[in-house]
Structure 1
Amino acid sequence: MNLNLRNAILHNVSGNSQDELKDTIVDAIQTGEEKMLPGLGVLFEVIWQNSSETEKKEMLETLENGLQ
């Protein structure tokens, strides 16, 4: 991923409230547009980098269960 795209995405959501972030995520998922995938990826990267090992394990379990 181009670092300029990552920075642009982070800039666009920096300072957003939890409700605004939720709306962004829900909208991206509901529209199903391919162009939204990089943004979701960047948001997931932030979540991953700021999660404990226990939280990461829970996310991986959730992901694994969702893919079965």
Structure 2
Amino acid sequence: MNFDLRNAIIHNVSGNSQTELRETIVDAIQNGEEKMLPGLGVLFEVIWKNSSEEDRKEMLQTLESGLK
């Protein structure tokens, strides 16, 4: 069976409102379940691909400071 996890995750959240997307992200983080990590990764990929270079630099600065 060939299952494309990335496309399944995108399909599951496509058309969601900002409120629904926020709830999905917050729920995944608060639950802390390992199985939610791929979904968060896919959402981050969508954000990254649709961000300007300036926004990417800001995300990297936020990430760097959060990891210190």
Question: TM-score, normalising length from structure 2?
Answer: 0.96
> Which SS does the other structure have where 1:15 is aligned?
coil
CA drift of 1:3 comes to: 6.8
Alpha-carbon displacement from aligned partner over 1:9-38 (angstroms, at most 9, x marks no partner): 000000000000000000000000000000
Aligned to 1:8: 8
Q: Provide the C-alpha distance between the structure 1 equivalents of 2:51 and 2:26, rounded to a whole number of angstroms.
A: 21
Q: Where does structure 2 lack aligned partners over 5 or more consecutive residues?
A: none
Q: Which runs of 4+ in 1 moved over 6 A?
A: none
Q: How far apart are residue 45 of structure 1 and its match?
A: 0.0
Task: Give identity over the alignment, percent.
Answer: 79
How far off is 1:54 after superposition?
0.1
- RMSD, aligned CA: 1.3
Offset at residue 6 of structure 1 (A): 0.3
- TM-score normalised by length of structure 1: 0.96
Work out the CA distance in 2 between the residues paired with 1:8 and 1:54.
30
Matched, 1:64 2:67: no
Is there any run of 5+ residues in structure 1 with no aligned partner, and where? none
